[in-house]
Structure 1
Amino acid sequence: MRKNKSKRKDKPASKAGLPPKKEKKKGGKRMRKELMVVSIVNAFQSSPKEAFNYKQISKLIGVENAVQKLQVADILYDLAADQFITEIDRGRYKLHDLGSQATGTFNRRSNGKNSFVPEDGGTPVFIAERNSGHAMDGDKVKVQLFAKRKGAEPEGEVIEILERKEATYVGKLQVTKGFAFLVTEDKTLANDIFIPKDKLKGGKSGDKAIVQIEEWPEGQKNPIGKVVDILGQAGDNTTEMHAILAEFGLPYKYPVAVEKAANRIPEEIPQEEIEKREDFRQVLTFTIDPRDAKDFDDALSVRRLENGNWEIGVHIADVTHYVRPESIIEREAQERATSVYLVDRTIPMLPERLSNLICSLRPDEEKLCFSVIFEMNEDAEVKKYRIVRTVIKSDRRFTYEEAQQILETGEGDHKDELIILNTLAKKLREARFKNGAINFDRYEVKFEIDEKGKPLSVYFKEAKDANKLIEEFMLLANRTVAAFVGDPGKGKTKKSFVYRIHEQPNPEKMENFAAFIRRFGYKLKTEGSQTEISKGINRLLDSAQGKPEENLIETLAIRAMQKARYATENVGHYGLAFPFYSHFTSPIRRYPDMMVHRLLERYLDGGRSMPKAKLDELCDHSSNMEQIAANAERASVKYKQVEFMKDKLGMVFDGVISGVTEWGLYVELNENKCEGMVPIRDLDDDYYEFDDKNYCLAGRRTRREYRLGDPITIKVVQANLERKQLDFMLV
C-alpha cells in the first residue's frame, strides 16, 4: 500500500483526514450572464475615458468567483468584437469613442468600398455609395453611424461635408457635339466626370487633361467638372509623363515667377565671399556621377599630408548661400521637398539655373561648398575632421563608367588618387558591415529610350566599386554631421536637428519572413542583439545570391523593414548600423539637406537651438513627399514596361510569382523584370482561396497551390497603357 508522505498545505494537519468543507461561494449568488453584460456596459459608460482589464471590471461589478471572472473576460472579448469597446493594449479595454455621429476623413474607392476614418483614429466605417452624399476622396465629413449588426462591419452615412479637399483628376477627354466627359482610371472615382462645353479650355477628344470637380448634384450619376489644363495628346511620351506627375499631385512645370527669381541670381562669386572660406581651388578635386547627370551636388578632394595621412574633402554644393529663407525659390523648394526622377527625365526641386548651373559643381568652374574635411590613416580611421565653408574648382568630371574603368585597368586620369579613395572606401564599407549594416545591393531596371521616348530595350544597373566609393564617403559625411550636433559631448546641451532615422524591424514581420524562407531551406535568427539579427540577414542575402529566389528574398526582407524617414527625435539608422545619421550631401535635390545646412551654419556660428515644432512639420512633409515621388517613379517605370511589352502579345516567358493577392497572381518575368498579373478568374480549374499567412492561393478541390517565389510560365495577353497593367495567362 502506497503511503501518502506529504500533507496538504491548504488545511491544518489535524483536519487532514476530514472530508473537505463545501467552499463558500465568494460574492454571494452567481450573477446571471444577462445581468453581467448590463453591469459591464454600465461600468464602461459611467467611466468613458478609463481603461479596464477583466479583473478591474470584475471588482467593479462585484464578481469574485474565479469561474465568473473568466466569463467576464469572454464578455469583454465579445464586446470588443462588436466594437462597443476597444482593446487599447493587451487585455485592457475602454469604451469605443464613436458616438452616434463622428467627424473624420472620407476615402472614396472606384470599387464602391468607400470608408470613413474617425479623426481620432479607431476602426474605419464602411460607407455604401448610396450613403456617400457624393463626398470625394479626402473630404472632411460628418457621419451618422448605423446601429451595429452582430458580426457585420460598422456602417454609416455622410450627413455633412465639412471641408472639401482640393483634388484634380487626370484622364482622357471624350468630346461630343454638346458636352464632354473625362474618362479616368483614378482608383478613387468610379464615374466619369461630365464637362460642359464652355469648361473644356480648348480640349479635344483623345487629349489627356486635368479636371477639377466643381459640383456633384444630388440624384446625378456623374460629377460636373472643368478642365484645369490640357497635357497633350494621349500616347505622346511627354504627355504621359506629365499625366503621371499630375496623378500624384506633383508639379510638371516650373512657375515662371520662380524661374525669373533664379535668373536674377548672379553667377560670379564676390571676392569678399571667397576670403571668408577655406580655399581648395589648388587641391585635386573631382566629381563622379551618372552619365546623364547635370546637377553635381558632391565632389571629393584628396591630398597626402606631411604626417603620411590622407586628407579627404567631401564638398557639397552650398545651395543655401543662394536660396535665402522665405524667398520665392525657398518656398517652392520647401513645397516640392525633392527632385522627382521619372524613367526618362528629372523634375528638379530647384530651378534649372541653380540646379544645373550656379550650384552644380561643374569642372573648371569656381564653386561655393559646405564641406567636411577628414584626416584619415591608411586603415580608413578618421583621426580628426572639420566642417567648413569652402571654395573649390573641380579638375575633372568622371562618369561612373569612366571611374570604374580606371579602377579596373589602373590606367587613366588621376588613377593613383582614385585607387587610394577606393581602398579607403572598401575599408569603411567593411567596418560598416562588421558593425551590423545590412547589405542590400539591389539592381535598378533601366530603359534604353529613343528620341520619342519609346523603350527599345531593358537593362539592369548594378552598383560597382565607383558607385560604392562615392556612397561610402557620402555616408561618412552624413553620419559625421549628425554626430557633431546629436552627440556634442559631456556637459553640452543637445540642439534640435534633422535626422534620417530607420527604426528596428517589426518583430512580427520578421517572424513571418523567417517562417516563409524556411521552405527554401534558409534559416534566419529573429531574436538577439541588433548586430546579430542584421548579420543573420546579410548571411541570408549572401547565400541566396545567384539563386532563382534571390530577388524575392531580398524584396521580402526589405518589406519586413521599416521605412526610413526624417525626424527630430534620433533613434539611429538600423539598416546602416549608425547611431547618428542625417542627410547633408544632396541639397540640390532634397529639401532636408538644405535644412541640415542651415542648422549647421547656425550652430557653427554659436546660434541657439531651433524650435522643434516647425522642424517636425517639415520633416513629416519631406518624408511624405519622398514617398509620393517614389510612387510616381515606379508608375513611370511601370508605364514603360507595359509600352515595351505591347508588341510582345502572345509571346511566352518564364517568370516567378512576385505577389499573391485575393484577385490574382503577380508574375515577374526573368528576362526583363516586367511584372504583370494572372487574374484569379483565369484560374478556372478550381475554386482558389487566398492564404495571406503563407503567401499562396490554394485550390479547394485539387489542393494545388500557387506560392510566392514559385517559377511559372506565362503568355502575354494584354498590355493596357491607360491602367499601366500587363495581363498574363498561365501556359
Structure 2
Amino acid sequence: MNIQDRILDFMSKQAYKPLTVDDLLKVLEIESDEKHILVDLLDKMEEEGLVIKNRRGCYGVPERMGMSTGRLQGHAKGFAFLIPDNPTQEDVYISASDLKGAMNNDKVMVRIFKKTDGRRRSGEVFKILERANKKIVGNYEASRNFGFVVVDDKRISHDVFIPKSQNKGAKEGQKVVVEITKWPEKRRNPEGKVIEVLGYKGEAGVDIEAIIKKLELPEGFPADVINEVEAIPESISESEIARRRDLRTLKMVTIDGEDAKDFDDAVSIEKLNEEEIRLGVHIADVTHYVKEGSPLNTEAFNRATSIYLVDRVIPMLPEKLSNNMCSLRSDGDRLAMSVLMDFNKNTGELLDHEIIESVIRVNHRLTYNKVNSMLIDKDQTLIDEYEDMIEDLRLMGKFSKTLRRKRFEAGSIDFDFPEAKIILDDEGKPVDIVKVDRGISEKMIEDFMITTNEVVAEDMYHREIPFIYRVHEQPSSEKLEDLNSFIHNLGYHIKGLKGDEVHPKALQNILEKVKGQAEERVVNTVLLRSMQQAHYSPYNIGHFGLASQYYSHFTSPIRRYPDLMIHRIIKEVIKDGFLSEKRINKLTKKLPNIADHSSVQERKAMDAEYESLDLKKVEYMQDKKGEQYEGIISSVMSFGFFVELDNTVEGLVHVSAMRDDYYHYYEDQHAFIGERTGNTYQLGDKVKIEVAKINLEDKQIDFDLVVE
C-alpha cells in the first residue's frame, strides 16, 4: 500500500479526529526531515478533493467531515445534483443559490446539510475541484456595446457575457464557440470570448457541427497520432502468431448491423458432448497496437468513446485501426482476446472458462438481417449460402434463449423500447424514420456479450486485481417510494421492498405482470425513469439492472476506452498469473481517474447522439404541420405532456392547448384531470394530435389535441 492509500485508509477507518501534519508523521512513521514531502503530498491530495484541510490546519477525509465529492449534473432551472464519486452514496440536491459559481459537469466538493424532511440529501458547493466547461457553444445575441451567448446546453443556466472586442465579428443569430475567461459568481454571469463562428443557426450542417464542438473533440487526429498509426505494420509477424493460441481453424462469424464498419467481436460455438457446449467470444486485440504511454493511447483516453451521430461517426481510434487492422474482418488473420466458456447447454451453468490471447480467422461477415432471415424466416437461399455455419447458428440461437432465461430468472430487467433509425438523403436531409426491432440475432449477440462481460469481471475480481467495473446502483429510496405509490394506483405493488432495499427480480416481476396490458407502456416508462445511470468505477458494487454481482465492459475496445484498458490489465495477468506490487499501486492510482473521465465522456457522447437524432426528427417533421397522428403520452410535466408518435417523434401538448376544460396537474398520478369534465390525460394513454408548430432551433415540436 503506497503512502497516499495509507493516509486515506487511516483517516477513513481509524482516525477519530482530523489530524495535523505532525500527527500523520507519527502515525505513518515518517522521519521529520521528510516532512516537506508529506506536506507536498497532502497539498496535492487536497487539490484533488481526497482530503480536506480545516482552519486549524488539520486534515481529514471528506465523508467524515460532512462533505462529498463528485460531478455536478445541472438543470435548466438553475439547480443541480451532485453525483458522488463514491457509488454507495445518494445524489445530493444543490439549489441555484448554493452552487457558488459551479456549472454542469464540474467536479466539486459539497458540504452536506443535515436532513430536515427525512427524504432528499441537499448541500452547497464548498470547493470547485475541476472545471468542465472551458468552451461552450451557443447562439450569439448582439447589442450596441456587448453581446451575450445563449448556451445550447440547457443544463447550463447562465448566458455568457461577451465584450464587444471579443466577439470575433459574430453577428446576431450566429452559432459560435466561446472560451470562458471568467467563471460565474454570485449575481454575475460567466464572461468569455468568441473563438469560432460556425455560421447562422438553421444553415445546413451548422447544428451538427455545433453538437461536435460542444464535445470539445477534434474531428481529425493530431499529426503525432497519424504518424504513429502509419508506422504500424499491417502484417502480423510469425513470432506474434507463434506465442498465441492458434484458433484459425475454429469456425466463427461476426454478426452486426448492415452498415457497420468496425467489428469488435466474433462468436463461435462447439458441441463438446450431449450436455456441454463451448461458447467462444473473440474480441479485437486493440492493445497490441495501442501501447500505454503512446500518443495514440493518450488520444484514445481523451476521447474515451466513439460517438455515433446521425450522419457521421467520430471514432475513438483512426480509421486504419478501427475499420481495418483491429476490425475482425473476414479477409485474413486477426489478433484477438478470446474468452472460451464451457456451459451446460440445457441450464446455462458455466462449467469452466479460459481467457487467452489468440489469432483467429473469421469465416463470414453476417448481418442481423441475414441471421434473422435464416433462423426465423427459414430463408433457404441464405441457408444454402451459409451451409457451413447454419447448424452452429441454430445452436447459438437456442443457447442464447437459455442464457436469457437464466438471466431473467435472476432478476435482470429488460426494457424493450423501440429504437429509431433516421434515413438521410445524399444531402443529409431526413427522408424517413423507421423503427428498429430486435430479432433473435440481436438478442443472441447481446446475451453472449453480457455473459462474457460477467465472466471476465468475476475472474478479475476473485484475483483481487485493480480493475474497471461497469456498475449500476439500485434506485434511490425516494424513487422506489414514488414508483410503488404510482403502480399501487394501478393495482400492482413491489414485493419484498424493505426500506430502501429491493431485489431487481421484484421490478422484473412488475414488467412481466403488465406485459400485454393497457398500462404496460406507462409502467415501463415510470420504472425506467426511477433507475439510476450506469457508469464506470474501480469499485465493484454490481450491476442492479442486469442482476449481476460482477460486470465489466470487455467486448468493445475499438470504441470504448475502459474495454481497452481492462484488456491491457488482463493480458498482464494471464501472462504471469499476477501483477507486481508496483504495477498494482500504479493502477490503483490511475483507474479512478480513467473510470471517472470515461463516465463523463460517455454521458457527453450519449447527449450528442440523442441531440443529433432529435434535430433530424424535428427536421423531418418540418413539412408535416397540420397533419394528424395517433400517439402515446410519454411524459407528463406541470406545463403539459409529451406525446410520442409511432415513428418515435415526440411533441409537446402545452396545457394552454387543452381548451375544452381547466386542467390540473397531478404529479403523483402523472396526469392532467379536467375540472368540469373529469377528462384524464395520463402517462401511457393513447391520444390523437395535430402537428401545430415546428421550432428547429429549439428542437421542439408542438402538438394540439384532436378532441373527437
**TM-score with structure 2 length normalisation?**
0.75
Indicate the residue corresponding to 2:88 in structure 1.
none
Instruction: Give the 3 Å change call, closer, same or farther, for CA 232–427 of structure 1 in structure 2.
Output: same
Indicate the residue corresponding to 1:293 in structure 2.
260
Indicate the residue corresponding to 1:630 in structure 2.
606
Pick aligned residue for 1:284 from 251, 257, 261? 251
Matches within 5 A, 1:122-521: 124=94, 126-127=96-97, 166-172=133-139, 184-187=151-154, 188=156, 191=159, 194=162, 196=164, 200=168, 208-214=175-181, 225-232=192-199, 234-236=201-203, 238-305=205-272, 309-379=276-346, 380-408=348-376, 409=378, 411=383, 412-413=385-386, 414-488=389-463, 494-521=464-491
Indicate the residue corresponding to 2:572 in structure 1.
602
Deviation (angstroms), 1:178: 10
Indicate the residue corresponding to 1:618 in structure 2.
594
Cα distance in 1 for partners of 2:188, 2:356 equals 63
Deviation (angstroms), 1:552: 2.8
Paired residues of 1:657 and 1:712 also in contact (CA < 8 A) = yes
1:619 corresponds to which letter in structure 2? A
- Partner-residue secondary structure (3-state), 2:511: helix
- Partner-residue secondary structure (3-state), 1:388: strand
Report which stretch shifted further, 527-536 or 577-586. Answer: 527-536
Cα distance in 1 for partners of 2:457, 2:129 equals 43
Matches within 5 A, 1:654-673: 654-669=630-645, 671-673=646-648
Pick aligned residue for 1:550 from 517, 520, 530? 520
Instruction: Give the 3 Å change call, closer, same or farther, for CA 213–681 of structure 1 in structure 2.
Output: farther
- Partner-residue secondary structure (3-state), 1:258: helix
Cα distance in 2 for partners of 1:141, 1:470 equals 39
2:558 corresponds to which letter in structure 1? I
Cα distance in 2 for partners of 1:396, 1:512 equals 50
Report which stretch shifted further, 389-398 or 690-699. Answer: 690-699
Indicate the residue corresponding to 1:559 in structure 2.
529
Cα distance in 2 for partners of 1:234, 1:692 equals 36
Deviation (angstroms), 1:270: 1.3
Cα distance in 1 for partners of 2:424, 2:253 equals 29
- Partner-residue secondary structure (3-state), 1:594: helix
Cα distance in 2 for partners of 1:661, 1:422 equals 42
- The question of 1:574 aligning with 2:544 is answered yes
Pick aligned residue for 2:690 from 715, 728, 731? 715
Paired residues of 1:117 and 1:125 also in contact (CA < 8 A) = no
Paired residues of 1:435 and 1:531 also in contact (CA < 8 A) = no
| CA displacement, residues 467-505 of structure 1 (integer Å, 9 cap, x when unaligned) | 1221222122111111212234xxxxx232222222333
Paired residues of 1:118 and 1:124 also in contact (CA < 8 A) = no
- Partner-residue secondary structure (3-state), 2:268: strand
| CA displacement, residues 152-205 of structure 1 (integer Å, 9 cap, x when unaligned) | xxxxx99x99997653332345789999875654533565754647853x7677
Deviation (angstroms), 1:723: 0.8
- Partner-residue secondary structure (3-state), 2:178: strand
Indicate the residue corresponding to 1:642 in structure 2.
618
2:138 corresponds to which letter in structure 1? G
1:606 corresponds to which letter in structure 2? G
Instruction: Give the 3 Å change call, closer, same or farther, for CA 192–198 of structure 1 in structure 2.
Output: closer
Paired residues of 1:232 and 1:239 also in contact (CA < 8 A) = yes
Cα distance in 2 for partners of 1:715, 1:506 equals 38
Report which stretch shifted further, 410-419 or 133-142. Answer: 133-142
| CA displacement, residues 553-584 of structure 1 (integer Å, 9 cap, x when unaligned) | 22222222232222222222222222222111
- Partner-residue secondary structure (3-state), 1:648: coil
| CA displacement, residues 374-432 of structure 1 (integer Å, 9 cap, x when unaligned) | 23454244432211100011111001111111212162402111111112222222222
Instruction: Give the 3 Å change call, closer, same or farther, for CA 265–688 of structure 1 in structure 2.
Output: same
Instruction: Give the 3 Å change call, closer, same or farther, for CA 372–206 of structure 1 in structure 2.
Output: same
Report which stretch shifted further, 444-453 or 692-701. Answer: 692-701
Deviation (angstroms), 1:513: 2.0
2:638 corresponds to which letter in structure 1? E
**Structure 2, unaligned runs of 5 or more:** 1-16, 19-64, 86-90, 111-123
Deviation (angstroms), 1:542: 3.6
Paired residues of 2:411 and 2:546 also in contact (CA < 8 A) = yes
Cα distance in 1 for partners of 2:635, 2:314 equals 31
Cα distance in 2 for partners of 1:618, 1:118 equals 17
2:696 corresponds to which letter in structure 1? L
RMSD: 4.4
Pick aligned residue for 1:588 from 558, 574, 580? 558
Cα distance in 1 for partners of 2:515, 2:92 equals 43
Deviation (angstroms), 1:287: 0.5
- Partner-residue secondary structure (3-state), 2:669: coil
Paired residues of 2:554 and 2:567 also in contact (CA < 8 A) = yes
Number of equivalences: 615
Cα distance in 2 for partners of 1:470, 1:217 equals 47
- Partner-residue secondary structure (3-state), 1:574: coil
Instruction: Give the 3 Å change call, closer, same or farther, for CA 585–205 of structure 1 in structure 2.
Output: same
Instruction: Give the 3 Å change call, closer, same or farther, for CA 539–279 of structure 1 in structure 2.
Output: same
Report which stretch shifted further, 243-252 or 183-192. Answer: 183-192
- Partner-residue secondary structure (3-state), 1:647: coil
The percent of aligned pairs where both chains have the same amino acid is: 40
Matches within 5 A, 1:657-696: 657-669=633-645, 671-683=646-658, 688-696=663-671
**TM-score with structure 1 length normalisation?**
0.73
Cα distance in 2 for partners of 1:451, 1:419 equals 38
Deviation (angstroms), 1:125: 5.1
Cα distance in 2 for partners of 1:601, 1:255 equals 28
Paired residues of 1:642 and 1:724 also in contact (CA < 8 A) = yes
Paired residues of 2:340 and 2:355 also in contact (CA < 8 A) = yes
Cα distance in 2 for partners of 1:505, 1:163 equals 28
Cα distance in 2 for partners of 1:428, 1:162 equals 44
1:645 corresponds to which letter in structure 2? M
Paired residues of 1:183 and 1:193 also in contact (CA < 8 A) = no
Paired residues of 1:659 and 1:666 also in contact (CA < 8 A) = yes
Cα distance in 2 for partners of 1:142, 1:386 equals 43
Paired residues of 2:474 and 2:502 also in contact (CA < 8 A) = no
Deviation (angstroms), 1:592: 1.2
Cα distance in 2 for partners of 1:136, 1:435 equals 40
Paired residues of 2:80 and 2:93 also in contact (CA < 8 A) = no
Cα distance in 2 for partners of 1:134, 1:533 equals 39
Instruction: Give the 3 Å change call, closer, same or farther, for CA 616–133 of structure 1 in structure 2.
Output: closer
Report which stretch shifted further, 326-335 or 562-571. Answer: 562-571
Q: Which has the higher contact order (CA 8 A, sep 6+)?
A: 2
1:574 corresponds to which letter in structure 2? F
- Partner-residue secondary structure (3-state), 1:693: helix
Deviation (angstroms), 1:273: 0.7
Bigger CA radius of gyration: 1
Cα distance in 2 for partners of 1:263, 1:228 equals 32
Deviation (angstroms), 1:446: 1.5
- Partner-residue secondary structure (3-state), 2:335: strand
